[in-house]
Amino acid sequence: MSLLYRENSPSLRQGYRLQWEPRQDCHVLLYPEGMIKLNLSAGRILDLVDGQRSVAAIIEQLSTNFPGVPGIDEDVLTFLEVAHAQFWIE
């Protein structure tokens, strides 16, 4: 599956869970073997990855939340490709 198709609706990989970790002051991605500490942008993107929203809807929501950010669509696509390659999402 290539996430370059904006109609795809990615979801977190089975066994993975996104949560806010107050002690870390960031979102983390939990999985059976450990934890990945996410930066603010990654947390905001993955928070919208629910298996229901399309990539296009995720980009649209982030563009609405952060108007005027140049290249946000390409940044989101690039991050989702990396997350897919790392097997965080499917």
Is residue 10 one of the residues assigned to a domain?
no
Is residue 11 one of the residues assigned to a domain?
no
Is residue 44 one of the residues assigned to a domain?
yes
Q: HSE-up of 80 (CA within 13 Å, CB side)?
A: 30
Domain membership of residue 39 as a residue range: 17-85
How many C-beta atoms surround the C-beta of residue 37 within 10 A? Answer: 13
CATH code for the domain in which residue 65 is found? 1.10.10.1150
Is residue 39 one of the residues assigned to a domain?
yes
Domain total of the chain: 1
Is residue 34 one of the residues assigned to a domain?
yes
Q: What is the pTM of this model?
A: 0.91
Residues 6 or more apart whose CB falls under 8 angstroms from that of 65 comprise 44
pLDDT in tens, 15-73: 999 999 999 999 999 999 999 999 999 999 999 999 999 999 999 999 999 999 999 99
